[in-house]
Structure 1
Amino acid sequence: MFRTIFGAVAALLLGASLTMAAPVTLKLGHIAEPENPYGQGADHFAKLVKERSNGEIDIKVYPSSQLGNQRDLVEGLGFGTVDMTLTGTAVLGNFVPEVAVFDLPFIFRDVNHAYKALDTVGMDLAKKGEDRGMITLAIWENGVRHMTNNARPIKTPADMKGLKFRVMEQPVYIEMMKSLGASPTPMAMSELYTALQKGVIDGQENPLAHIATKRFNEVQKYLSLSGHTYASEPLLISKTAWNKLTPEQQQILKKAAEDTRDWERQLCRDLEGKFLQQIKDSGTTQVNDDVDKEAFAKATRPVWDIYTKRFGDKNIKAIQDIK
C-alpha cells in the first residue's frame, strides 16, 4: 500500500516537472534608445509575451546597439546567433533586396498609406527573408525621415549640393543623396553623433525620434522637415529560435507583435510633436518647414528607375494602387 501511494505521488511530481519546463529566453537587440517609440514598443512587446505565456517566454531587450549595429543584428539572425531584432527595411533590403521599395523617396501619400502597404505588400515581400533564416512577425514604425546639417537650411535640392551626408549602408539612400548632389557617407548609427560633433560629415537624415533621443540636435544647426522617406521597423526572429518554439508559443509571439505594432504606431503619432518641440526648445537647432517637397520628389525620381530596372515596377504599382 505504501509503495503504491509513493509511486502515485512520484508519478504526479514527475508529470508536474515535465509540464513546468524551464522558460524560453530570447534576446531582442535594437539600436534605438529606450525612450524611442520602437524602443518602448520592444519593452511593451516583451511584457505582453511574458504575460500571455504565463512567464514561459522571457524576452530580454538590449537597446542602444548593445548587441551590435543593425547590419550585425540582421546577419546574426541568419547565423542563428541573434534571436530577435528590430531593423529598418533599408537595412533589411541588403538581405531581402525587394523590400527596399519601401524606402523609395516619396512613395507614400501619408502614414496611413504606408501602414496599409506594409501590412499587405510588405509582409508578402518579407517572406522572402525566410530563405535567409529570418521571419518577420510584424512591421512597426520608426517614423518620417528629415534632414539635418551644419551648413545651411535646406529648402530645395540645390541646398544639398556638396554636403557630406551620413546614410545607411543601402543603395536607395546612397543613390538618393547622389541625385540631390550630396556626398553619401555610409555609417553605423553608433558612430554618427561623434562624426557630426567632429565635423567628419555635414549632416544626416533620420526620424524626429532618433534626432531627439540620440541628441543629434546638439551637434546640428539646422533641421529641415523634408519628409523624404518613411521608415518602417520590422520585428524579426531567427528561424533557429522560431523552430525551437511550440506552435502555441509561436502564436503568442505573432499576436503580441501585431498588437504591439498598432500600439507603437499610435505612440509614434502621439510623440512626434513632442520630439519636434523638444528639438525647438533645445535652442541649438533652427527648424525649417519651408521645404519644396515637389522639387525633392522630382529630383529623386531617378532612384525609382534604378529599382525598376532591377526588380520591375510590380511592387511599386502594388503600393501606389492601395487606397
Structure 2
Amino acid sequence: MKLSTMTSAVAALATTTSLCAPAFAQDNVEATFGILFGPTVPFVVCGTTPMVEELADAGFDINVVHSAQLGSENQMAEQVSFGELEMAVITSSIFAAWMDDISVLEAYYLYDNVDQVMEVYETPTAQALLDELMQVANVRVIGSPWLYGTRNVFGNREIREPADFENVRMRVPETPVSIEGARSLGAQPTPVAYSELYVALQQGIVDVAEAPIPIIGLESFDEPADYVMMTKHLITAMPFVVSEDFWQSLDEDHQQALTDAATAASERVRDCVAEAEEETLAGWKEDGAVTVIDDLDIDAIREKSRAHFSSGLPYSETYVQLREDLE
C-alpha cells in the first residue's frame, strides 16, 4: 500500500472514530503542537494530522506548527519546559540540557530492534529518567514514542568495517551523545546544522552523515551521496512531551484522550516509517541512485561502539543497565 493510500485511510479512520467520541465537561482546550519536520514526513502525514482530527472531537483545538518554525529542538524543549509551548515531539537527548543521563536513550547500538525502542520507556531504568525529567524540566512524557526510524550512515565514503571510519568526517547533530556516537565508530564528529547538510555533503565539508532511510530520500540527501551503509547504529523514537503546567490544567478525561491519541499516532507512524523505508530502498535498487551496502561487518562495528559507550561516560552505567533491561 502506497503512503498516500495509507494517509487517506488514516484520515477516514480518524473521521469515523470522531463520530462516536464522548462529550467532555471541560471547555475547548487550545494548544500549540511544535514539530521540527516538514509536512511530508511520516511524523506529520501519519501522526500529527490524524491526531489533531481525533482530538478536535475530544475538545481540543490544536495548532500544529511544523518545519521548525518555532525554532530548533533545543528551543522547543525550552518552550515546553517554560510552559510557552503545550506539546511537541522532541529527541530525548535534547533534554540533556537538564539531565545528562537521559542522553543514553540516543546512544548508538543501545537497541537491537524497533520493538526495544518502542518498549524502552517501560523499563524501570527509563521510568526513573522520565520521573527525574518531569521534576527538573517541568516536562512530562505521555503515550508511546514516535518512531523517527532506523538510522544509517550515508555519504561519499564506502564503509564496510571499523577501519573504514578512520579519518572520515561524519556530520552529527551538535549534541554530546551524537558526537560520542561518531567517536564510537572511529569517525571524526563534525557538527553541521541540519539545514546545511545537503550543501555540506555536496561541497565535501563532511564525508558522511546519518539518518533513517525515508529521511535520506525525502530530504534528497541521496543526491549528493554515493553510498548508503546499513549500519543500523541507532533507532530513534522521539517521546511525545507536554508541559507539566498544561497537563495539570486538563481534567482526567482530556488527559486520557491526549494520551490515547499520542499512542495511536505512535502506532500509525511506525507503520508508515516501515512502509516508507521499504519503498525508498526499492527505488534506489531500481534506479541505482546510490549504492546500498548491506554486507558490512556489522558485528565488529557494533562491538566497538558498545564498548565505547559502556565505560568512561557520565551515562555509561545507565547504558549497561538499559542493555540488561532490554534483553
Would you call these one fold, judging by a TM-score over 0.5? Answer: yes
Given candidates 22, 29, 32, the residue that maps to 1:24 is 29
Closer, same or farther in 2 for the Cα pair 1:245/1:70, shift >3 Å? Answer: same
Question: What TM-score does the superposition give when structure 2 sets the normalisation length?
Answer: 0.83
CA-to-aligned-CA distance 1:155-210 (integer Å, 9 cap, x gap): 11211111211112222221221233321122332332232233322221111122
Unaligned segments of structure 1, at least 5 residues: 1-18
Closer, same or farther in 2 for the Cα pair 1:305/1:250, shift >3 Å? Answer: same
* Whole-Å separation in 2 of the counterparts to 1:159 and 1:206: 19
Please state whether the residue corresponding to 1:313 is helix, strand or coil. Answer: helix
Please state whether the residue corresponding to 1:284 is helix, strand or coil. Answer: coil
Please state whether the residue corresponding to 2:164 is helix, strand or coil. Answer: helix
Question: Which residue number corresponds to residue 258 of structure 1?
Answer: 263
CA-to-aligned-CA distance 1:57-103 (integer Å, 9 cap, x gap): 11222222222121111122112222221122232344343222222
Contact persistence 1:145–1:231 (CA under 8 A) = yes
Question: Which residue number corresponds to residue 275 of structure 1?
Answer: 280
* Whole-Å separation in 2 of the counterparts to 1:293 and 1:119: 28
Deviation at 1:287, TM superposition (A): 1.2
Contact persistence 1:69–1:188 (CA under 8 A) = no
- State the one-letter code of the partner of 2:225: Q
Closer, same or farther in 2 for the Cα pair 1:94/1:288, shift >3 Å? Answer: farther
- 2:77 equivalent to 1:71: no
Question: Which residue number corresponds to residue 126 of structure 1?
Answer: 130
- 2:152 equivalent to 1:149: no
- State the one-letter code of the partner of 1:186: P
Please state whether the residue corresponding to 1:92 is helix, strand or coil. Answer: helix
The more displaced of 219-228 and 279-288 is: 279-288
* Whole-Å separation in 1 of the counterparts to 2:212 and 2:296: 16
Deviation at 1:42, TM superposition (A): 1.7
Please state whether the residue corresponding to 1:287 is helix, strand or coil. Answer: strand
Question: Which residue number corresponds to residue 102 of structure 1?
Answer: 105
Question: Which residue number corresponds to residue 21 of structure 2?
Answer: none
Deviation at 1:211, TM superposition (A): 1.0
Unaligned segments of structure 2, at least 5 residues: 1-24
* Whole-Å separation in 1 of the counterparts to 2:239 and 2:222: 26
CA-to-aligned-CA distance 1:233-256 (integer Å, 9 cap, x gap): 111111233233233222211121
Contact persistence 1:50–1:58 (CA under 8 A) = yes
Question: What TM-score does the superposition give when structure 1 sets the normalisation length?
Answer: 0.83
Closer, same or farther in 2 for the Cα pair 1:207/1:181, shift >3 Å? Answer: same
CA-to-aligned-CA distance 1:113-158 (integer Å, 9 cap, x gap): 22222343445422222120211113121111100112x2211121
* Whole-Å separation in 2 of the counterparts to 1:279 and 1:68: 33
* Whole-Å separation in 1 of the counterparts to 2:217 and 2:107: 24
Question: Which residue number corresponds to residue 226 of structure 2?
Answer: 221
Please state whether the residue corresponding to 2:222 is helix, strand or coil. Answer: helix
Question: Which residue number corresponds to residue 242 of structure 2?
Answer: 237
Deviation at 1:282, TM superposition (A): 5.4
Deviation at 1:289, TM superposition (A): 0.8
- 2:186 equivalent to 1:181: yes
Please state whether the residue corresponding to 1:125 is helix, strand or coil. Answer: helix
Deviation at 1:318, TM superposition (A): 4.2
The more displaced of 61-70 and 228-237 is: 61-70
- 2:201 equivalent to 1:196: yes
Deviation at 1:222, TM superposition (A): 1.1
Closer, same or farther in 2 for the Cα pair 1:319/1:305, shift >3 Å? Answer: closer
- 2:118 equivalent to 1:115: yes
Closer, same or farther in 2 for the Cα pair 1:282/1:94, shift >3 Å? Answer: farther
Deviation at 1:319, TM superposition (A): 4.0
The more displaced of 227-236 and 91-100 is: 91-100
Contact persistence 2:309–2:319 (CA under 8 A) = no
Please state whether the residue corresponding to 1:113 is helix, strand or coil. Answer: helix
Given candidates 39, 50, 54, the residue that maps to 2:44 is 39
- State the one-letter code of the partner of 2:301: F
Please identify the structure whose Cα radius of gyration is greater. 1
Closer, same or farther in 2 for the Cα pair 1:89/1:259, shift >3 Å? Answer: same
Deviation at 1:104, TM superposition (A): 2.3
Contact persistence 2:310–2:319 (CA under 8 A) = no
* Whole-Å separation in 1 of the counterparts to 2:225 and 2:316: 38
* Whole-Å separation in 2 of the counterparts to 1:26 and 1:222: 42
